[in-house]
Amino acid sequence: MKVTAQEEYGLRCMLAAASSSLDKPITISAIAQSERLSTAYVSKLLNHLREAGLVESVRGRSGGYYIARPASLITLSEILAALGGHIFEPEYCDRFPGEEDSCVHMGDCSLRSLWGTLEGIVEQVLRRTTLADLLTTEQRASADLMHRQRRSLPMLPRMAPEGDMRRPLAGPAPHALAGDALAGDPLANEPKEK
């Protein structure tokens, strides 16, 4: 997965806006200066975020930007969707047709399955991670995120307990029966950690 410049800098703008408030919004120039970006680029990013309902602006001499709702209610999934999209887009197969008009594997493609599965896994993590989770030090955020994500991935095959460890057992793993990354979040009913 490649994170685009727009996604990276847009997340940084959201973190800056999250440190402000309605009565003390942060200006485009303040964000541009702290992130070493042009004011035009920061303005463009904040416009995307405003159109998605993630930030609001205040006009006037003491104007600027602030987040539209509490940081604990804004997921990274929402932010990244506003800034660029997803790893696997529906038109993915149209982008790689080779020398033909459409991909020769349109009917049966294991790569499409791989990219869709990865998209599901990443999306689960992004839906469970909020802007508030990132409003801390790198060390603390890393520890919190690793603790929260330390679970089995729903689509990993079960491995034979003895013998050839590379041979998966037949059938889905028990935790995959409840759903997989593409059919919903099997961890959605778990209580959130404080």
How many residues in total does the chain contain? Answer: 194
Predicted local distance difference test score (pLDDT) of residue 150: 60
DSSP state of 20: -
**56 and 65 in contact (C-beta within 8 Å)?**
yes
Query: Which residues make Cβ contacts (< 8 Å) with residue 193, sequence separation at least 6?
Result: 147, 148
**Domains with residue ranges and CATH for the chain:** 1-74 (1.10.10.10), 86-157+171-184 (no CATH)
Residues 15-54: pLDDT tens digits?
A: 999 988 878 899 999 999 999 999 999 999 999 999 999 9
pLDDT band for 182, please (50, 70, 90 cuts). Answer: very low
Residues 64-106: pLDDT tens digits?
A: 999 999 999 999 999 999 998 766 666 666 666 666 676 666 6
Nearest Cα residue to 130 out of 191, 83, 76, 80: 76
pTM, two decimals, is 0.66
Alpha-carbon torsion 36, 38, 42, 45, what sign? negative
C-alpha to C-alpha distance for 190 and 128, rounded to whole angstroms: 11
Query: Which residues make Cβ contacts (< 8 Å) with residue 102, sequence separation at least 6?
Result: 93, 94
